């Protein structure tokens, strides 16, 4: 082993270096952040990759907003591009329409809150009955699955996550537990395919519009007649928080 070939002085140096690295890591969170990293991107701060976000003045929403209105007027442009590219990739590769829809909606919650965005997004779409249980299950579980490779479908740990989460990142135990549970579930592949198309969704220079997906939404997403946020559903407040992100209390 290489370690055993080192002199005691070299070993001391290596130890010191590794302690300094640990010190650096443990010292980092002690700095008071300006904004929690889990803040939803509609509320400002940074993208998950650490790029600063520009907050524009928001246009008012129509009185009975549809999910298309949220895509056009509330979801931050980089999240829209990401989800459209993901859905486009799924569609181009002949995935079933439910998978295309799952890809189209998988990261909507990042606008509201980044922490546990899979769980939040699944909850946001669950009451709208044409979204099958399978679609919301897949959206919920893509969050845990993306950290774990699956060579059967050519999915490896994304390089981008080294940038976002740091080298040698180990997801929280509850994420691993969710992955292990999902691995054994009959719908595992539904969630896995979101992660597969998620990878290609960062293709630069590919311009995709919402238009080809409006019909897909129409077939699978039951738009409440009062509008999202005003339908009295258990998740209406989540949609309202996106409508009124500047309300101070």
Nearer to Fe ion, 95 or 107 (CB): 107
Report 96-115 residues binding Fe ion (CB under 5 A): 107
Nearer to Fe ion, 36 or 222 (CB): 36
Sorted by sequence, the CB contacts under 8 Å of residue 51 that are 6+ apart come out as none
Per-residue contact string for residues 43-82; x = within reach of Fe ion by CB under 5 A = ----------------------------------------
Nearer to Fe ion, 95 or 198 (CB): 198
Sorted by sequence, the CB contacts under 8 Å of residue 78 that are 6+ apart come out as 41, 47
* Host H or E run for residue 47: none
Give how many residues touch Fe ion by CB under 5 A. 2
The nearest distance, CB 197 to Fe ion, in angstroms, is: 9
Nearer to Fe ion, 118 or 224 (CB): 118
Nearer to Fe ion, 107 or 116 (CB): 107
The nearest distance, CB 202 to Fe ion, in angstroms, is: 9
Helix, strand, coil percent content, the chain, rounded in steps of 5: 55, 0, 40
Nearer to Fe ion, 130 or 200 (CB): 200
Sorted by sequence, the CB contacts under 8 Å of residue 67 that are 6+ apart come out as 217, 221, 223, 228
Answer yes or no: are the C-beta atoms of 146 and 169 closer than 8 Å: no
Report 172-201 residues binding Fe ion (CB under 5 A): 198
The nearest distance, CB 99 to Fe ion, in angstroms, is: 14
The nearest distance, CB 231 to Fe ion, in angstroms, is: 25
Q: Does 126 bind Fe ion (CB under 5 A)?
A: no
- What is Dmax (Cα atoms) for the chain? 75
Q: Kindly list the distances between the CA atom of residue 43 and the CA atoms of 57, 114, 219, 245, in Å, as whole numbers in the listed order.
A: 12, 11, 31, 7
| 111 φ/ψ sector (left φ>0, alpha ψ -120 to 50, else beta) | alpha
φ and ψ at 113, to 5 degrees?
A: -160, 135
The nearest distance, CB 109 to Fe ion, in angstroms, is: 9
The nearest distance, CB 117 to Fe ion, in angstroms, is: 6
Pairwise CA distance, residues 193 & 91, whole Å: 12
Contact residues for Fe ion, defined by CB under 5 A = 107, 198
């Amino acid at each position: 082993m290489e370690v055993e070939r080192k002199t005691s002085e070299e070993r001391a140096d290596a130890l010191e270096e590794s302690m300094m690295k640990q010190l650096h890591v443990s010292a980092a969170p002690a700095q008071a952040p300006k904004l929690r990293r889990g803040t939803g991107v509609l509320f400002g701060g940074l993208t998950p990759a650490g790029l600063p976000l520009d907050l524009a003045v928001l246009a008012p929403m129509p009185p009975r907003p549809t999910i298309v209105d949220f895509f056009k007027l509330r979801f931050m442009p980089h999240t829209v591009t990401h989800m459209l590219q993901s859905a486009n990739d799924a569609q181009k590769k002949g995935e079933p329409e439910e998978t295309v829809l799952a890809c189209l909606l998988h990261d909507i919650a990042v606008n509201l809150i980044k922490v546990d965005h899979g769980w939040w997004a699944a909850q946001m779409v669950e009451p709208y009955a044409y979204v099958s249980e399978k679609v919301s299950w897949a959206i919920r579980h893509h969050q845990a699955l993306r950290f774990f490779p699956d060579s059967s479908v050519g999915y490896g740990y994304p390089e981008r996550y080294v940038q976002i989460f740091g080298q040698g990142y180990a997801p929280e135990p509850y994420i691993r537990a969710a992955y292990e549970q999902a691995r054994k579930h009959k719908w595992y592949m539904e969630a896995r395919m979101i992660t597969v198309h998620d990878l290609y969704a960062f293709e630069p220079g590919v311009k995709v519009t919402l238009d080809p997906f409006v019909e897909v939404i129409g077939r699978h997403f039951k738009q409440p007649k009062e509008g999202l946020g005003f339908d009295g559903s258990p998740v209406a407040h989540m949609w309202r928080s996106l409508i009124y992100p500047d309300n101070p209390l």
